[in-house]
Amino acid sequence: MFKRKLKALDYIDRDKINANDPQHFRKLVVWLEDQKIRHYKIEDRKDIRDINSTSWPETFKRYCEDVACPITTQPVDQLEWLIGFAIKLEFEDNYKKYQPITGKSLKDMNKPVAPNIKSSNPLDNLDFHSAEFKNGIEELRKLLCIPRHSDHLVTLQACSKIVCMRLNAETLLNPKSIVLKGKEFPILEAELGFNMGDPVLNNAAKILRLLYIQDLRDLQTRINETIVSVQNITANPRTDTKLGKVGR
C-alpha cells in the first residue's frame, strides 16, 4: 500500500514490504529514521534500532510523540504518516532539485530513449533537401533526359526507375531485350471516343489510356506466368492428353 511513496524515497525493499509483518514494519521505521527523518541523534537511536526488543512498541509510541505524529490509533496509519513526513523532509532538503519538475518534464524524463545506432550506409547521412542534393538530381535528370518535376524526390524516383529498368547489367549486355521494335503507333491521330473540348487534354487522355492498357497487359502476363508456375507444381505427370485421361 506504500509502494509508490517508498519508491519516491528509494526504499530498496518496497516491493516486498508488508506493513502487517512486525519485522517489516520495524525495519522500515528504523530505515526512515536513519535515512530520511533523522529526528534523533545517532547515539539516541539505540532503542528504535533494537527491533527484537519486547519493549519496541513502547519505543515506537514514544518516537511518534517525539516527531509530533498526530495519529494515535493504528500503527499502520502512524507508519503511513511517517512515510509522508519523510517525503516532506526529502523535498525540503532538495527543493531546488525538484522545483523545475513539471508533469510534462517528468513525462519526458520517463520516456524511453531510442538507441543511438550509427549507420554505415552513407545514404543515411545525406540531406535530401539541401541545394547540393537538388543540383545533383538536376544533373542526373539531364543526363537521362527525364522531364523536370516540381518535387525533386519524384524526379529522383523517375531516375531510379530508368536506371533499374534500362541501365542494369543484364540490359547493357543485351540491349535488344528492352528496346522495343516495330512500327510507331500514331497516338495523336488515334480516336479517343470522346471530346474534352481541349486538344491538349485530349492528347493527355490518349496517353493515359495507352499507359493503362500497358499496365493491364503487364498484369495479364504476370497472371499467366503464375498460372503456368502453379500448373507445373500441381500437374499429374501421368496425364495423357492424347487419350483425354488422367492417370492410368
Q: What is the overall mean pLDDT for the chain?
A: 83
Q: Percentage of residues in the chain with pLDDT exceeding 90? A: 35
Judge contact between 63 and 48, C-beta under 8 A: yes
Residue 49 has pLDDT above 90, yes or no: yes
What is the distance between the alpha carbons of residues 20 and 109, in angstroms, rounded to a whole number? Answer: 35
What is the distance between the alpha carbons of residues 146 and 161, in angstroms, rounded to a whole number? Answer: 11
Q: Percentage of residues in the chain with pLDDT exceeding 70? A: 84
Grid coordinates representing 19 are 506493513
Dihedral pair phi/psi, residue 73, rounded to 5°: -90, -85
What is the distance between the alpha carbons of residues 197 and 27, in angstroms, rounded to a whole number? Answer: 92
Read off the pLDDT of residues 32-43 as tens digits, 9 standing for 90 and up.
999 989 999 999
Judge contact between 155 and 146, C-beta under 8 A: yes
Residue 246 has pLDDT above 70, yes or no: no
What is the distance between the alpha carbons of residues 134 and 122, in angstroms, rounded to a whole number? Answer: 17
Give me the pLDDT at residue 188, please.
74
Give me the pLDDT at residue 206, please.
87
Q: Give the N- to C-terminal CA distance of the chain in Å, as an integer.
A: 80
Using 50, 70 and 90 to split pLDDT, how confident is the model at 105?
low
Read off the pLDDT of residues 134-153 as tens digits, 9 standing for 90 and up.
999 999 999 999 988 889 99
Closest CA to 152 of 181, 126, 118: 126
What is the distance between the alpha carbons of residues 142 and 162, in angstroms, rounded to a whole number? Answer: 13
pTM listed for this prediction: 0.42
Read off the pLDDT of residues 168-203 as tens digits, 9 standing for 90 and up.
888 888 877 777 677 777 777 778 888 888 888 888
Closest CA to 56 of 11, 23, 85: 23
Strand, helix or coil for residue 47: helix
Closest CA to 8 of 26, 30, 35: 35
Mean pLDDT within 113-118 = 65
C-alpha of 123 from chain center: 21
